[in-house]
């Protein structure tokens, strides 16, 4: 794992420890709050847990926690909301995989939720995860001393990022663009809405909880937007590399599915150049925070370096 | 339309006016907040609006508004949240109609959302309506002077009532019980969760926004729960009557679909008796409010009298 932009051996080791600690925190909270084996009906718990613990990288909650730390926020206070974002992400994956959407049988090497539990339970498990996310948010005030005004701001942020003006909008355009020739604006719309909106919100929410000034919030929003787009462009590049390697992969590639990707539109070389440019922009937006922003920048570098 | 338990001609006329005014308020708010023809992507707006304006009776938002009035709450303050509940109800109908759930082609004499817009858009329109409901709640503080603590309480109430411990749980058990012999506990679970939870929350939220004491909230919760169950039992009776009339009806009947209904388990006579008992319970829970509770009781009577 290269962390190019940081380039410090000490920080590399430190970052590994940093990330492992954060992932553990997130997983512990999720385990604790999704572990009611006696609850009825059991199917829905199994289906919800199956996808929540299917090996996600937890990048969104890590972004929330890391942004909060950058602004001297209390990490335990942020944790329930960081985990709520992971639930929203998981719900979106379950629904995206459905037969009428991307029709995927496998995700992360495991059967998709609807292949394992049936379509009805998969749709309902997604819906239940979305509602549980909002329950996490409403509960977060207890014991975590988050004030009501912030709860309200976060509610607004997440409902907007996940709705028709965010993630749902991106998915609608993605589905309708399949096997069609799309222009640059459309592919940017899909990437910034379907993937980018929630990644940007993960950063923004870490900032909002920590009482960021509007100047800092604007700067971190630019970072979040850039990171969100970079995440999807690197995903596209990985899909293209996988496509070219001709190796048998479990699950379909976006190119095979007739989806518009960055490399299919701009070529691999230009797409790589775009990632370099986006990472450099991340660096620019975080620069004023100085050394304290190294963990956030390291995460951005990890995302960018996935394609190496 | 008989309003049996009230039995006053004056009140009958008054109630008609009362209900018409409330429906108009709800529809005006929904029209205003779901009318962005220039928004992108247009499909999702069309699909969302199609089901929101498909002729719903608006019983849930009316309950919220009427409960708020009972407790001297400001009706305009409650309106955005009452409309949010209607959006959650609409989302649940769109998803319930899907091929993998109830597989209905028609609702209220019109094509169901997925028949009109395709399955992917129907799922996404449902999700978008759910998120828009939470946006309505987060926006409601502006201009409506709802304090943040109440926003937080409402968030908790609605996320819980709509999630695995409420509406989703009821739907999971409903889907898995199809064409199976179920016991009395299961049918009660389905009815109180799938339909009852959101109806009860409609009442509770009207009370919470109006600052109800815990004593009053408990009493109104009992009323809400009773009304929610009564709503579903009368629905079952209507389905059974329709089944027996042998008339060609657009859309499938629950009995045909192998769903457990009150009349299929207890017979029509006992089911009617149950409605009478539930209406009497509604009366009992509202009695301490005196004359002021007449509108709420009239709504309960209207629900009960659907089967006459």
- Bridge partners (DSSP) listed for residue B107: B110
Helix (H, G, I), strand (E, B) or coil at A107: strand
Closest residue on chain B to A152 (Cα): B138
Q: Does B241 lie at the interface with A, CB-CB under 8 angstroms?
A: no
Residue B8's pLDDT is what?
Answer: 41
Q: With beta carbons under 8 A apart, name residues in chain B contacting A205.
A: none
Residue B228 falls inside a structural domain: yes
Q: Dmax over Cα atoms in chain B, in whole Å?
A: 53
Q: How far apart are CA A282 and CA A99, in angstroms?
A: 36
Residue A43 falls inside a structural domain: yes
Both structure tokens of A278 = 């986006």
Span A192-206, pLDDT tens digits: 999 999 999 999 999
Q: Does B34 lie at the interface with A, CB-CB under 8 angstroms?
A: no
Residue A179's pLDDT is what?
Answer: 86
Question: For the packed helices A197-209 and A167-177, what is the interaxial angle rounded to 10 degrees?
Answer: 170
B124–A172: do the CB atoms touch at under 8 Å? yes
What is the distance, to the nearest Å, from the Cα of residue A269 to the centroid of all Cα atoms in its chain? Answer: 25
Q: Which of A118, A127, A192 to mutate to test the interface with B (most CBs of B within 10 A)?
A: A127
* Total tally of structural domains belonging to chain A: 1
Q: How far apart are CA A236 and CA A260, in angstroms?
A: 9
Helix (H, G, I), strand (E, B) or coil at B26: helix
Residue A303 falls inside a structural domain: yes
pLDDT tier for residue A8 given thresholds of 50, 70 and 90: very low
Asked if B163 and A126 touch (Cβ cutoff 8 Å), the reply is no
Q: With beta carbons under 8 A apart, name residues in chain A contacting B40.
A: 169, 189
Where does A36-147 have alpha helices with state H? Answer: 42-52, 59-70, 75-96, 113-117, 119-139
Residue B3 falls inside a structural domain: no
A127–B132: do the CB atoms touch at under 8 Å? no
Q: Which residue, among B134, B62, B251, has the nearest Cα to A160 in the 3D structure?
A: B134
Residue B77's pLDDT is what?
Answer: 87
Q: Which residue, among B119, B131, B288, B275, has the nearest Cα to A197 in the 3D structure?
A: B131
Span B158-200, pLDDT tens digits: 999 999 999 999 999 999 998 888 999 999 999 999 999 999 9
Interface contacts A/B by beta carbons within 8 Å: 158
Q: How far apart are CA B21 and CA B295, in angstroms?
A: 13
Q: How far is B118 from chain A (nearest CA, A)?
A: 9
Comparing A15 with B279, which gets the higher pLDDT?
A: B279
Q: How far apart are CA A162 and CA A142, in angstroms?
A: 24
Q: With beta carbons under 8 A apart, name residues in chain B contacting A201.
A: none
Q: Does A36 lie at the interface with B, CB-CB under 8 angstroms?
A: no
CA triplet B39, B41, B44: central angle to 5 degrees? 100
Helix (H, G, I), strand (E, B) or coil at A102: coil
Which residues of A, range 173-202, sit inside 8 Å of B by Cβ?
A: 173, 175-176, 189
Span A123-174, pLDDT tens digits: 999 999 999 999 999 887 666 667 778 888 999 999 999 999 999 999 999 9
B123–A135: do the CB atoms touch at under 8 Å? no
Mean pLDDT value across residues A234-260: 75
Residue B2's pLDDT is what?
Answer: 42
Residue A4 falls inside a structural domain: no
Is residue A62 scored above 90 in pLDDT?
yes
Is residue A288 scored above 70 in pLDDT?
yes
Q: With beta carbons under 8 A apart, name residues in chain B contacting A124.
A: 95, 168, 171-172, 175
Span A193-241, pLDDT tens digits: 999 999 999 999 999 999 999 999 999 999 999 999 999 999 999 988 8
Q: How far apart are CA A291 and CA A273, in angstroms?
A: 26
Asked if B265 and B233 touch (Cβ cutoff 8 Å), the reply is no
Both structure tokens of B77 = 């303050």
Closest residue on chain A to B96 (Cα): A120
Q: How far apart are CA A156 and CA B79, in angstroms?
A: 18
Helix (H, G, I), strand (E, B) or coil at B110: strand
Q: With beta carbons under 8 A apart, name residues in chain A contacting B152.
A: 138, 141, 148, 151-152
Closest residue on chain A to B159 (Cα): A131
Domain range for residue B105? Answer: 9-307
Is residue A33 scored above 50 in pLDDT?
yes
Supply the DSSP string of A250-282, one letter for each residue: SS--TTTTT---HHHHH-HHHHHHHHHHHHHHH
Residue A3 falls inside a structural domain: no
Closest residue on chain B to A170 (Cα): B41
Q: With beta carbons under 8 A apart, name residues in chain A contacting B123.
A: 95, 98, 100-101, 123
- Bridge partners (DSSP) listed for residue B111: B106
Q: Does A123 lie at the interface with B, CB-CB under 8 angstroms?
A: yes
Helix (H, G, I), strand (E, B) or coil at B288: helix
Residue B1's pLDDT is what?
Answer: 39
Is residue A53 scored above 50 in pLDDT?
yes
Q: Which residue, among B50, B54, B48, B60, has the nearest Cα to B23 in the 3D structure?
A: B60
Residue A156 falls inside a structural domain: yes
Is residue A253 scored above 70 in pLDDT?
no
Q: Dmax over Cα atoms in chain A, in whole Å?
A: 53
CATH code where residue B69 lies: 1.10.600.10
Q: Nearest by CB to A155, which of B41, B121, B134? A: B134
pLDDT per residue rounded down to tens, chain B (308 residues): 343 444 444 456 788 889 999 999 999 999 999 976 567 889 899 999 999 999 999 999 999 999 999 999 888 889 999 999 999 999 999 999 999 999 999 999 999 999 999 999 999 999 999 999 999 998 876 666 677 788 889 999 999 999 999 999 999 999 999 888 899 999 999 999 999 999 999 999 999 999 999 999 999 999 999 999 999 999 999 988 887 775 545 556 676 677 888 998 999 999 999 999 999 999 999 999 999 999 999 999 999 988 76
Residue B55 falls inside a structural domain: yes
CA dihedral B299, B225, B220, B84 (to 10 degrees): -70
Q: How far apart are CA B57 and CA B34, in angstroms?
A: 18
Closest residue on chain A to B48 (Cα): A164
Comparing B253 with A101, which gets the higher pLDDT?
A: A101
Residue B257's pLDDT is what?
Answer: 72
């Amino acid at each position: 794992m290269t962390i190019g932009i940081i380039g410090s051996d000490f920080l590399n080791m430190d970052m590994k420890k940093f990330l492992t600690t954060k992932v553990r925190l997130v997983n512990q909270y999720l385990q604790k709050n999704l572990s009611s084996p006696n609850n009825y009906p059991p199917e829905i718990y199994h289906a919800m847990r199956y996808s929540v613990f299917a090996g996600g990288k937890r990048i969104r909650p890590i972004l929330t926690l890391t942004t909060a730390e950058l602004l001297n926020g209390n990490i335990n206070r942020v944790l329930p909301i960081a985990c709520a974002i992971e639930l929203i992400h998981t719900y979106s994956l379950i629904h995206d995989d459905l037969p009428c959407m991307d029709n995927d049988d496998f995700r992360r090497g495991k059967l998709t939720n609807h292949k394992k539990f049936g379509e009805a339970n998969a749709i309902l498990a997604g819906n239940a995860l979305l509602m549980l996310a909002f329950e996490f948010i409403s509960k977060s005030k207890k014991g975590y001393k988050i004030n009501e005004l912030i709860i309200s701001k976060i509610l607004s942020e997440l409902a907007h990022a996940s709705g028709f003006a965010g993630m749902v909008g991106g998915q609608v355009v993605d589905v309708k663009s399949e096997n069609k020739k799309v222009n640059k604006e459309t592919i940017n719309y899909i990437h910034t809405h379907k993937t980018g909106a929630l990644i940007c919100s993960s950063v923004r929410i870490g900032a909002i909880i920590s009482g960021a000034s509007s100047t800092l919030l604007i700067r971190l929003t630019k970072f979040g937007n850039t990171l969100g787009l970079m995440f999807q462009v690197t995903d596209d590049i990985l899909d293209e590399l996988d496509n070219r390697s001709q190796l048998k992969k479990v699950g379909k590639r976006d190119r095979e599915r007739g989806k518009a990707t960055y490399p299919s539109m701009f070529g691999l070389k230009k797409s790589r150049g775009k990632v370099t440019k986006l990472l450099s922009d991340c660096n620019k937006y975080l620069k004023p925070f100085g050394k304290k922003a190294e963990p956030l920048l390291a995460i951005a570098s990890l995302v960018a370096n996935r394609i190496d």
